[in-house]
């Protein structure tokens, strides 16, 4: 497990999740402005809220099997049978039964992570993450599909400084992006991003802020595409955290709030959430045995009268 990418980029994050109570800068009143902690990457600013509030709900059957062939290399087989929503213009949701088998291979090393997946509906995904040096990382994503003009590829170049992180993104369709985040105080970080999409002549600028202590993570993000997003995650105890999220789109004047809980118990992980769109959802992962997890997913949309229930199993470490 040591080869997996470290989840916590900064010491504050790891202490948040693994339950250490100590806060480093409680010891002194003076803040050393030259020794601020490294913030998380710009794209991961809202990661805790995303993980707690948006589990991968599904409808149907899901089965995942991961087989490690050596310490670094593993294969994965995955079957899904169920209903998928087809985006339609009418308010009525259209569900289509779909099923696929996905075969994948993972190579995870200290410096490199290589993941490939291929599906029976003709999609292929590949991801590479390579640490060239301790501070410089290259990530490549590619997705090939049967449908024309839907394939995409993206390069990310990340640089991690002492108390900042910067990233440059290059993608197909002439996509160029740049983002930067800097720690301003030991608990507060500010960042900004800019992107340019050549084919559609769109460009945008965004700003983000993150306040991060042992028990509280609060973030705010605003973009020129019209999106304002605020999240708040409170760790009530080492097993329980509560999260809430507010999204407002000033172009289309729509606002959504969701509130949820995330219980990480000894043999299960349970996430529940309710929404101002009239949705109530829950996602349960229960450990039946070593390496065998049982999944249950439920989503009730009272407004659209759309009910989705799914179950699945995950086998393998």
Partner 1 sequence: MAGSGDNPLAKIGNTVTQSPLFQKSKRALSNTARFSQKLLWSTGKAAWIAGTSFLVFVVPLIIEMDREQQMVDLESQSAGLLGAPPVGLVGMLRGASNAPLLKDLSFYRRHCQEDDHAIQERIEAEALDLRFC
Which spans of this chain sit near partner 1 (rule: CB under 8 A)?
1, 4-5, 7, 17-18, 43-44, 47, 50-51, 54, 56, 106, 113, 115, 125, 127, 141, 154, 195, 197, 200, 202, 204, 223, 225-227, 249, 261, 263-270, 272, 274, 280-282, 284-287, 290, 296, 298, 300, 302, 317
Nearer to partner 1, 38 or 156 (CB): 156
Beta-carbon contacts of 141 under 8 Å, excluding residues fewer than 6 positions away, are 125, 126, 127, 128, 152, 153, 154, 156
Nearer to partner 1, 18 or 31 (CB): 18
Smallest gap, in angstroms, from Cβ of residue 28 to partner 1? 29
Nearer to partner 1, 25 or 171 (CB): 171
Smallest gap, in angstroms, from Cβ of residue 184 to partner 1? 23
Bridge partners for 84 per DSSP: 96
* Overall residue count recorded for the chain in this entry: 317
Smallest gap, in angstroms, from Cβ of residue 278 to partner 1? 8
Burial of 126 (0-12, 13-18, 19+ CB in 10 A): middle
Smallest gap, in angstroms, from Cβ of residue 265 to partner 1? 5
Smallest gap, in angstroms, from Cβ of residue 163 to partner 1? 22
Nearer to partner 1, 132 or 280 (CB): 280
- CA nearest 124: which of 140, 138, 103, 108? 103
Nearer to partner 1, 98 or 107 (CB): 107
Nearer to partner 1, 130 or 274 (CB): 274
Smallest gap, in angstroms, from Cβ of residue 201 to partner 1? 12
Nearer to partner 1, 5 or 94 (CB): 5
Bridge partners for 204 per DSSP: 195
Smallest gap, in angstroms, from Cβ of residue 36 to partner 1? 24
């Amino acid at each position: 497990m040591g080869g997996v990418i470290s989840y916590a980029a900064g010491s504050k994050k790891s202490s948040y999740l693994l339950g250490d109570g100590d806060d480093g800068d409680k010891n002194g009143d003076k803040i050393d402005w030259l020794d601020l902690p490294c913030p998380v990457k710009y794209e991961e600013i809202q990661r805790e809220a995303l993980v707690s509030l948006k589990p991968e709900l599904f409808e149907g059957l899901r089965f995942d099997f991961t087989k490690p062939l050596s310490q670094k290399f593993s294969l994965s087989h995955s079957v899904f049978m169920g209903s998928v929503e087809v985006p339609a213009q009418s308010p009525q949701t259209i569900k289509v039964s779909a099923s696929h088998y996905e075969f994948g291979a993972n190579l995870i090393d200290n410096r490199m992570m290589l993941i490939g997946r291929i599906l029976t509906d003709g999609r292929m995904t590949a991801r590479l993450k390579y640490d060239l040096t301790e501070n410089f990382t290259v990530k490549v994503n590619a997705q090939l599909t049967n449908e024309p003009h839907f394939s995409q590829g993206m390069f990310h170049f990340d640089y991690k400084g002492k108390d900042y992180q910067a990233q440059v993104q290059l993608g197909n369709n002439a996509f160029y992006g740049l983002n930067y985040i800097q720690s301003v105080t030991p608990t507060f970080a500010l960042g900004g991003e800019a992107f340019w999409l050549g084919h559609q002549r769109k460009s945008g600028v965004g700003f983000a802020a993150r306040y991060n202590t042992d028990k509280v993570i609060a973030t705010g993000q605003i973009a020129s595409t019209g999106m304002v997003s605020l999240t708040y995650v409170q760790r009530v105890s080492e097993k329980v955290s509560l999260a809430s999220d507010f999204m407002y789109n000033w172009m289309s004047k729509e606002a959504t709030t969701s509130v949820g809980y995330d219980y990480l118990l000894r043999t299960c992980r349970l996430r529940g959430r309710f929404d101002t769109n009239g949705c109530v959802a829950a996602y349960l992962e229960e450990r039946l045995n070593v390496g065998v997890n049982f999944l249950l997913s439920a989503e009730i949309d009272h407004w659209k009268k759309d009910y989705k229930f799914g179950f699945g199993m995950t086998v393998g470490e």
